[in-house]
């Protein structure tokens, strides 16, 4: 599978001193095997402070359109990164009484409690546009309307408050597994892990489809997706500085002189669909080709 991000320059591009591009993590569903970047742009690899994640910090002239292509092969259990690294910050800490919010009568203590918590959080939401009142995880009364970020912010915080292993993934969802399919903005989902099993949950898609209860699975409505980061409040470190925390990291971000990291206007295209069992060519770094950046695979 090949996913290409196209960056459209705006007024911030001329002032930017850098462009921070995520390096997609390896998961049980995907393995990053190649990355192609624009030739004129030098870069350095920067690392996230609370996990093994990395990003590319580019420098140069950003006034032109730029494309970054990511080549994925199928994932493996052995190749996954530390997806369940614990990010403890304002985006992940629940404010309020968990038991009252979930109203589970103690059922969340059972072995299958992850599913119970997911269902309880889903009952608190209807699918809609982004709700600014839900930017930070806090309990509330009744049912609220929210998008995938709102729903998964609450779900992640509830799982953490219940002592469960949970991961927040941000990336792109393509409704059809075909060449030229464009992602409609970023998307996010949750993974849970117990000693018995690992499960992916897309509560927003399940609510959007009108399902009676959430069902586990990476793509409950079909299509394909690519994760570009995991965790909330990511902090990347250069050799001399810590960059500001990033709520969720999918689209590349401009690094401005004041240190801020606003999102770049980005479109994502599925250039080559995912085919089960298909071989993917591993791109190798050529000493004379400054346009290729590859990770160790």
Q: Which residue has the higher pLDDT, 269 or 63?
A: 269
d(Cα 294, Cα 297) in Å, to the nearest integer?
Answer: 9
Q: What counts of helices (H) and strands (E) characterise the chain? A: 5, 16
Confidence of residue 128 (pLDDT cuts 50, 70, 90): very high
Q: Which residue has the higher pLDDT, 6 or 185?
A: 6
Q: Where are the domains of the chain?
A: 2-82+230-272, 98-172+184-229
Query: Looking at the chain, which runs of residues are DSSP E strands?
Result: 2-8, 18-22, 30-36, 43-48, 54-58, 66-74, 125-127, 144-146, 165-174, 181-182, 186-193, 198-201, 224-230, 236-237, 253-255, 265-272
Give mean pLDDT, residues 70-98: 90
Q: Which CATH class is domain 2-82+230-272?
A: mainly beta
Under 8 Å between Cβ of 274 and 5:
no
pLDDT at 275: 65
Q: pLDDT by residue (tens digit) across 235-251?
A: 999 988 899 999 999 99
| pLDDT higher than threshold 50 for residue 297 | no
- Residues contacting 226, CB < 8 A, separation 6+: 1, 3, 24, 30, 70, 72, 171, 172
Phi/psi at 246 (5° precision): -110, 125
């Amino acid at each position: 599978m090949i996913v290409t991000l196209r960056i459209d320059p705006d007024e911030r591009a001329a002032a930017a001193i850098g462009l921070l591009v995520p390096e997609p993590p390896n998961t049980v569903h995907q393995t990053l095997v190649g990355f192609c970047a624009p030739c004129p742009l030098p870069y350095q690899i920067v690392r996230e402070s609370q996990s093994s994640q990395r990003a590319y910090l580019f420098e140069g002239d950003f006034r032109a359109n730029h494309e970054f292509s990511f080549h994925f092969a199928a994932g493996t259990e052995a190749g996954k990164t530390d997806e369940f690294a614990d990010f403890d910050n304002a985006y992940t800490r629940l404010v309020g009484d968990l038991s009252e919010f979930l109203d589970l009568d103690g059922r969340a203590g059972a072995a299958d409690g992850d599913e119970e918590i997911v269902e309880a959080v889903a009952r608190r939401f209807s699918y809609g546009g982004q709700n600014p009142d839900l930017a930070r995880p806090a309990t509330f009364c009744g049912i609220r309307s929210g998008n995938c970020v709102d729903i998964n912010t609450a779900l992640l915080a509830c799982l953490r408050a219940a002592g469960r292993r949970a991961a927040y993934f941000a990336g792109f969802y393509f409704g059809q597994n075909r060449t030229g399919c464009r992602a409609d903005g970023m998307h996010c989902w949750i993974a849970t892990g117990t000693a018995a099993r690992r499960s992916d949950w897309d509560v927003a898609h399940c609510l959007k489809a009108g399902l009676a209860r959430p069902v586990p699975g990476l793509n409950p409505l079909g299509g394909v997706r690519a994760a570009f980061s995991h965790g909330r409040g990511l902090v990347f470190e250069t050799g001399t500085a810590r960059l500001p925390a990033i709520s969720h990291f999918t689209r590349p971000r401009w690094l401005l002189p004041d240190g801020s990291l606003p999102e770049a206007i980005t479109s994502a295209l599925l250039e080559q669909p995912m085919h089960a069992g298909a071989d993917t060519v591993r791109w190798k770094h050529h000493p004379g080709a400054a346009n290729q950046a590859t990770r160790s695979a």
